[in-house]
Amino acid sequence: MSFPERHVVAPLTEKLYQKADRERIPLSGTFELSPICNFSCRMCYVRKTKKEVEMHDRKIMTLDQWIWLGEKARNEGMLYLLLTGGEPLLWLDFWKLYNALYEMGLLLAVNTNGSLINDEVIQRWKEKPPYKVNITLYGASDDTYEKLCHAKQVYSKVKSAILKMKEAGLNIKLNCSLTPYNASDLEEIVNFAKKHKIQLTVSTYMYPPVRRDAKMTGQNDRFSPEEAAWYHMQRYRYQNGEEAYKKFLQNIQKGIISPPGLDEECMDSRDGKVRCRAGSATFWVTWDGYMTPCGMMPEPKVDLDGISFKEAWNKVVALSEKLHTSRICEECSNQQMCHSCAAMAYAENGNTSVVPAYVCEMIQALKTLAEKELRSSGG
């Protein structure tokens, strides 16, 4: 069975995003409820312990603050809302907030590691279904979860939750962040998704966790650029089969594949080009009360304390319009296949206008490896 390279956005949804982008309407938001998680993943960009949160110079957002924000954002045009963390299901007021936002008529999505999903959670979602639940599948064994996430005896729980949600008819999507610690499970992860007909996105590019620690600029517990390129190719091979894989290699040489490392929402379905909507149609609110265009970088940000949602959004739009990536990137022959976005550049360099060398090396490795593969196969 051949799976599509990228989830196809519904035409109506795409038209809404295009209109929002033109008119600077905050169509889609992300609420980062808490940085606390029951996992401690090596590459996580935000996780903090309960003690670290208590010692932080700003308090965690309250239920009332999130509900107020949801109402104001909806009034300004927000239709889609992602609830994330940390692990959002750990946040004590999650269900009170979820129900309030659901009653506002918002289309809700949830990011979760899946380990806390039980029959009660599934029943709640059957009664008030989210439009999507994104579950990160970190491996295919307890050993892998322990190595990567420092979480013991959880794989069977996550697997069971996925299958029960599928059986309940809930819309789920699997995400896999591939690293040196779970790469050996890649084929098994892909086969699991295929067997149960569940959409799966595998990412081999890991953003440096600069929000968690500014000293991590350009660093993460991740593949080398060459390894990231190789596994990006292999995940396509496992997902789509040999015939499609050969075509994929040819497309790499032509420079017409989707850029690895970018979320599907960054892509315009009209022509496949990257048009980042952060700060023009989408926004992110951090657990400590800042609005940013994108959750992958700490700047620019606007303090929500004491100002209206509309005022904060307008400030984010103005700040986002000042962000520029390197002219070298904009004029590069690999730009269409790569597109180093502002968040990538910031995470790799601490500056959006500097070329992210890691990403350049990954794309160049893709081209080199594809050429070798085609030569060896006679293609």
Q: Do 127 and 104 touch, CB atoms closer than 8 A?
A: no
Q: 175-191 burial, b if ≥16 CB within 10 A, otherwise e?
A: bbbbbebbbebbeebbe
pLDDT-based confidence at 336, cuts 50/70/90? Answer: confident
Q: Is residue 357 part of a domain?
A: yes
CATH number at residue 283: 3.20.20.70
Collapsing DSSP to helix, strand or coil, 74 comes out as helix
In this predicted structure, what is the pLDDT of residue 59?
93
pLDDT digits (tens, 9 = 90+) for 107-131: 999 999 999 999 999 999 999 999 9
Domain-embedded: residue 159: yes
In a domain, 138, yes or no: yes
Split into its structural domains, the chain has a count of 1
Answer yes or no: is pLDDT of 168 > 90. yes
Closest CA to 348 of 265, 268, 228: 228
Rounded to 5 degrees, φ, ψ at 176 are -130, 120
φ, ψ dihedrals at 57, nearest 5°: -75, -10
Domain assignment of residue 187, yes or no? yes
3-state secondary structure of 231: helix
CB atoms within 10 A of CB 85: 24
- Is 191 inside a domain boundary? yes
Angle at 47 between CA 261 and CA 340, to 5 degrees: 20
Residue range(s) defining the domain that contains residue 76: 25-377
CA 48 to chain centre: 19
Task: Encode pLDDT of 193-251 as tens digits.
Answer: 999 999 999 999 999 999 988 899 999 999 999 999 999 999 999 999 999 999 999 99
- Answer whether residue 14 is part of any domain: no
What one-letter code names the amino acid at 103? E
**Domain-embedded: residue 16:** no
Q: Judge whether 352 and 325 are in contact, CB under 8 Å.
A: yes
User: Does residue 360 lie in a domain region?
Assistant: yes
DSSP of 23-61, one letter per residue?
HT---EEEEE--S--S---TT-SS---HHHHHHSSSPPP
How many of the other CB atoms lie within 10 Å of CB of 219?
A: 14
